[in-house]
Amino acid sequence: MDDVKISRRLFVSAAVLAGGGFVMGFGASPSEAQSAAARLTDYVAVAPDGTVTIRAKNPEVGQGVKTMLPMIIAEEMDVDWAQVRVETAPVDEKTYGPQFAGGSLTTPMNYETMRRAGAAARAMFLQAGAEALKVPVAELSAVKGTVVHKASGKKLSYGTLATAAAKVPVPDLKTVALKDPKTFTLIGQFKGGVDSPKIVRGAPIFGIDTVVPGMKYAILAKPPVYGAKLKSANLDDIRKLPGVAQVFTLEGKGDFHGIQDCVAIVADQWWYAKSARDQLDIVWDEAIGVPHDTATYAAQAETLLTGSGEPIRDKGDVRTALAAAAKTVEAVYETPFIPHVPLEPQNCTARVTADGIEIWAPTQSPGGGRRLVAQTLGVPEEKVTVHMVRGGGGFGRRLENDYMVEAAAVAQKAGVPVKLLWTREDDIAYDYFRPGNYHRLRAGLDGAGGLSAYQAHGVTFARGGKTAQGAGITPDGFAQITVPNYRLEQSLIETLVPTGYLRAPSSNSLAYVHECFLDEVAHAAGKDPFDFRLHLIETAGKGPAAEGRGPDYDLKRLKVILDTLRTRSGWDRRKPAAGEGFGLATYFSHRGYFAEVAKVRVSPDGTWRVLKVWVVGDVGSQIINPAGAINQVEGSVIDGIGELRQAITFDKGRAVQGNFHEVPLMRMSEAPHIDTHFVLSDNPPTGLGEPALPPVIPAVCNAIFAATGVRVRKLPLTPEALAKKA
C-alpha cells in the first residue's frame, strides 16, 4: 500500500452517445480512452436533456469518495451538481487504473487528473458553443451546465450542445486551462453523500442486501486457529436439518489471503444455515496453534527487548550521545492486537456459470479480489466480473478478499448462486488483525533540555521470517527526524495469526508509542509539550524522513498546525479541575499533518472519559467536500479513542474475544466534543480516511498523565490501571 504511484497518466477520448449526447472516456493510454468512450465505461456523459452522468471508479465504504471524486469533475466541467447522477463504475483496472480504497490515496491519486478531465470537457462545450453562436470562444463562459455569451445574452445548455461537443477535438490534458480555485463553486461546498437518500429509506444498496435469482444462503465453519486442518465433522447429520440444501467441505489452498479448510452449509435461508452450523460437531487438528498465546508473545518480547535488534535506522552516534547526555529517559511500551469490525459482517454473493463468474462484493480491493478468484478457481481473469457494492465500513479489513473467494468457491461447488454471510463472531475470529508490538525507548537530553539522542528497539511480528502485513514499525515520527542521533532496531516474533492493515496501519500504534514517550521526555526536560516540540523543530536538521511513504516530513507545516492548535485549544489558559488533564500529540501519516489536544477526566475509580478533542490538520490547499472531510476527522478521533480499550488475545492460536460485548466500540454517550480545523497550505490536497486517527490515542494518554500522574505504557487502558490505590 505504501509505494503506490501517486500520479496516474490519464488520457481522454470523446464520442457521440447513441441517440445523441456527449460521452468522454478515460484510460491509461489513448486507445484505452477511445475504447472506454466507445464502451461507455469510465466516463462522463451529458445527455441531450442536460443530465450529467459521472462514473465513480473507487469502492465506497463510508469514506465518501463516491461523492467527492465526481464533485471534482463537475466543478471543472461547470455543471450544476443537481444535474449530476453518480453511478458506480465496473471493476476494470485496465481502463480505470487502480481501483481500491486504501492508504487515504484516492484524493492524491485523482485530484489533479479528475480536474483535468473535467476541464477538457468544459473546453469542448465552450468550443461547440462558439461554433453554434459564431462568436470567439474567448467571449464565452460556462455556468452551471450552460454556455453563456455575455455580450449578447445568448445561452446554450450543455444538453443542446452535447452531440456537437463530442465531435470537438479533445484538448491536451497537460495544457488544458484549469479553473482558479478561488472561483470554485462546488469544490469546498458541503455536499451530502450521493447514496444517502437511499440509506435513510433502507434501500437495498449494501453488499449484504444483494439478491440474485435462484440464490441460496451460505455459512462456513472455518478453523478457529489459522491454517488448522479439518479432521472430522458430522456432515450427514447436518444435511438432514431443516432448510439445509447442501453441506460440503472445501480444502485450504495454503494461500494466506484465500481459502482455508472449511465446511460450507448452503441453505434456503441464512438462518437455517446458521442454525445448522450450531449443530456441527467438528474436530480440527489445531496443534499448530499451541505456541501462539498472548502471554507467550509477551514473554518472548520481554526477552528480545533485553538484547539488541537488527538496526533499520541509524544516524549519528546514539551510543555516544546517550553516554554524554545530561539526563536520560527510558520506558517500555506495549500495544495489543486489535480487530477491524466493520459493522456490516463480511459477505459476498457469487454466481458461477459456464460463461464465467459474477460477484457482488463489498470490498476495498475489487481488482485484487478478481485476481484471487481467477487464480483460485482456475479461470481467466476476464471471465470474472466483480460488481462493487457499497460496503458497511472497511477500515482496511476489506482489502482482504477471503470472503469473496469463499463465496465464489461455494457457488461453484454448489452449482447455484449463493450469498455467503459471516456472523460477527466469524468476523472477529477470522480477522486479519492489527498486530501488537513492544518497544524499549531511550532518549538523551542535552544541558539545554533539547533532545540529543533517541533510541528505539521495537519487537513486532513476522510471517515466514519477514515483517508481517501491517506490522512495520518504522515510524513517520517526529523525534526521529528532528534528533541528531537516532537509532531504530527491530526484532521479530513469528506469528501464525493473520495480520493486516487497520486504518492508519502502523501509525495507529506507533503514534501512541512515540508520542507518549516524547511527552515523557518533554516532562523530564521540564518543558511544556508545545514548547518542547517547537524547540525541536527550530533546531532540527534534515533526517531520515518518511522513506517510502511519500514526501519528506515538512517541519514548517507541522509548526503551523502546532501554533494554530495551541491557540484554538486555549492551551496556555487551560484550567483543569481536579481529576482533569490536557494532553498533546502530533502525527504525520498518509501525507496528512495532524496535531490534537485532548481533555480528559479520570474518576477515583479509574474510569476515564474524554471530554473534548481539538484537532488541527493540514491536508493541503483544498478541502474538497467539507461534509465528508469533517465526518472523517470526527470518526477517526472517536475510533482512535475506542482503540484504547480494545485488545484481541490469543489462546493457543485462537482469538479469545467473540462479539461486541468483548470488543467495546465507542457509544453515543462516550463521544467527546470535537473541534476540527483545517489549515489550508500551498500543497496538493491529500486524503482524510486515516491521518486524523493516530494522534488522538497519545493525546488522550498524555492527558491522563496530566490528570493522574500515571503513564499509560500498555494498552488496552483499563480502569484498574488508573484507579487510586486506597
Interatomic CA distance for residues 247 and 249, integer angstroms: 7
Q: Are strands 262-267 and 216-221 parallel, antiparallel or unpaired?
A: antiparallel
Q: How far is the CB of 8 from ligand FES (least distance, A)?
A: 29
Q: Which does 400 bind (CB under 5 to 8 A by kind): other proteins, ligand FES, none?
A: none
449 binds ligand FES (CB under 6 A): no
606 binds ligand FES (CB under 6 A): no
Reference 115, options 685, 682, 612, 506; nearest CA is 685
Q: Which does 639 bind (CB under 5 to 8 A by kind): other proteins, ligand FES, none?
A: other proteins
* In contact, 673 and 569? CB cutoff 8 Å: no
Interatomic CA distance for residues 136 and 103, integer angstroms: 45
Which of 21, 25, 50, 62 lies at the binding interface for ligand FES (CB under 6 A)?
62
Binding stretches for other proteins (CB under 8 A): 61-64, 190-193, 195-197, 199-204, 206, 208-209, 211, 217, 242, 269-271, 341-345, 390-395, 421, 423-424, 599, 611-612, 627-628, 631-632, 634-635, 637-639, 642, 659-661, 665-669, 671-674
Pick the closer one to other proteins by CB: 482 or 507. 507
Pick the closer one to other proteins by CB: 556 or 667. 667
Q: How far is the CB of 369 from other proteins (least distance, A)?
A: 18
Which residues inside 325-364 make contact with ligand FES, applying CB under 6 A?
Answer: 343
Q: How far is the CB of 641 from other proteins (least distance, A)?
A: 9
CA dihedral 61, 67, 70, 72 (to 10 degrees): -110
318 Cβ partners below 8 Å, 6+ apart? 453, 454, 455, 485, 486, 487
Q: Which does 199 bind (CB under 5 to 8 A by kind): other proteins, ligand FES, none?
A: other proteins
Pick the closer one to ligand FES by CB: 502 or 585. 502
Q: How far is the CB of 57 from other proteins (least distance, A)?
A: 18
Q: How far is the CB of 666 from ligand FES (least distance, A)?
A: 11
Reference 631, options 262, 191, 137; nearest CA is 191
* In contact, 45 and 85? CB cutoff 8 Å: no
Q: How far is the CB of 339 from other proteins (least distance, A)?
A: 11
Cis peptide before 716 (omega within 30 of 0): yes
Interatomic CA distance for residues 452 and 303, integer angstroms: 27
Q: What is the largest CA-CA distance in the chain?
A: 89
Interatomic CA distance for residues 354 and 16, integer angstroms: 35
295 binds ligand FES (CB under 6 A): no
Give 711's Cβ-side CA count (13 Å radius).
18
Interatomic CA distance for residues 426 and 625, integer angstroms: 35
Pick the closer one to ligand FES by CB: 177 or 343. 343
656 binds ligand FES (CB under 6 A): no
Pick the closer one to ligand FES by CB: 291 or 393. 393
Q: How far is the CB of 191 from ligand FES (least distance, A)?
A: 17
Q: How far is the CB of 153 from other proteins (least distance, A)?
A: 36
Q: How far is the CB of 464 from other proteins (least distance, A)?
A: 32
Q: How far is the CB of 586 from other proteins (least distance, A)?
A: 21
Pick the closer one to other proteins by CB: 191 or 487. 191
Q: How far is the CB of 639 from ligand FES (least distance, A)?
A: 11
Cell of 24: 468522454
Pick the closer one to other proteins by CB: 199 or 290. 199
Reference 716, options 622, 668, 648; nearest CA is 648
Q: What sign results for the dihedral spanned by CA atoms 335, 337, 340, 343?
A: negative
Q: How far is the CB of 73 from ligand FES (least distance, A)?
A: 25
For ligand FES (CB under 6 A), the number of binding residues is 3
* In contact, 369 and 342? CB cutoff 8 Å: no
Pick the closer one to ligand FES by CB: 101 or 264. 101
Q: How far is the CB of 82 from ligand FES (least distance, A)?
A: 25
Q: How far is the CB of 299 from ligand FES (least distance, A)?
A: 37
* In contact, 86 and 415? CB cutoff 8 Å: no
Interatomic CA distance for residues 11 and 45, integer angstroms: 16
Exposed, middle or buried: residue 49 (CB in 10 Å: 0-12, 13-18, 19+)?
Answer: exposed
Q: Which does 398 bind (CB under 5 to 8 A by kind): ligand FES, other proteins, none?
A: none
Q: Which residue has the cell 504525520?
A: 588
Q: Residue 404: what residue type?
A: M
Q: Are strands 262-267 and 244-250 parallel, antiparallel or unpaired?
A: antiparallel
Pick the closer one to other proteins by CB: 390 or 439. 390
Q: How far is the CB of 665 from ligand FES (least distance, A)?
A: 9
Which of 393, 449, 551, 684 lies at the binding interface for ligand FES (CB under 6 A)?
393
Q: Which does 109 bind (CB under 5 to 8 A by kind): ligand FES, other proteins, none?
A: none
199 binds ligand FES (CB under 6 A): no
* In contact, 685 and 581? CB cutoff 8 Å: no
What angle in degrees, to the nearest 10, is found between the helix axes of 626-643 and 65-77? 160
Burial per residue of 676-695, b for 16 or more beta-carbon CB atoms within 10 angstroms, e otherwise: bbbbebebbbbbbbbbbbbb
Interatomic CA distance for residues 435 and 418, integer angstroms: 32
Pick the closer one to other proteins by CB: 270 or 593. 270
624 in helix, strand or coil? Answer: coil
Reference 369, options 410, 400, 409; nearest CA is 400
Q: Which does 31 bind (CB under 5 to 8 A by kind): other proteins, ligand FES, none?
A: none
Q: Which does 466 bind (CB under 5 to 8 A by kind): ligand FES, other proteins, none?
A: none
Q: Which does 145 bind (CB under 5 to 8 A by kind): ligand FES, other proteins, none?
A: none
Q: Which does 213 bind (CB under 5 to 8 A by kind): ligand FES, other proteins, none?
A: none
Long-range contacts of 143-146 (CB under 8 A, 24+ apart): 143/78, 144/78, 144/79, 144/80, 145/50, 145/52, 145/78, 145/79, 145/80, 145/83
Pick the closer one to ligand FES by CB: 62 or 417. 62
DSSP 8-state class, residue 525: T
Pick the closer one to ligand FES by CB: 393 or 658. 393
Pick the closer one to ligand FES by CB: 343 or 448. 343
Pick the closer one to ligand FES by CB: 63 or 491. 63
Q: Which does 204 bind (CB under 5 to 8 A by kind): ligand FES, other proteins, none?
A: other proteins
Pick the closer one to other proteins by CB: 223 or 342. 342
Interface residues toward ligand FES, by CB under 6 A? 62, 343, 393
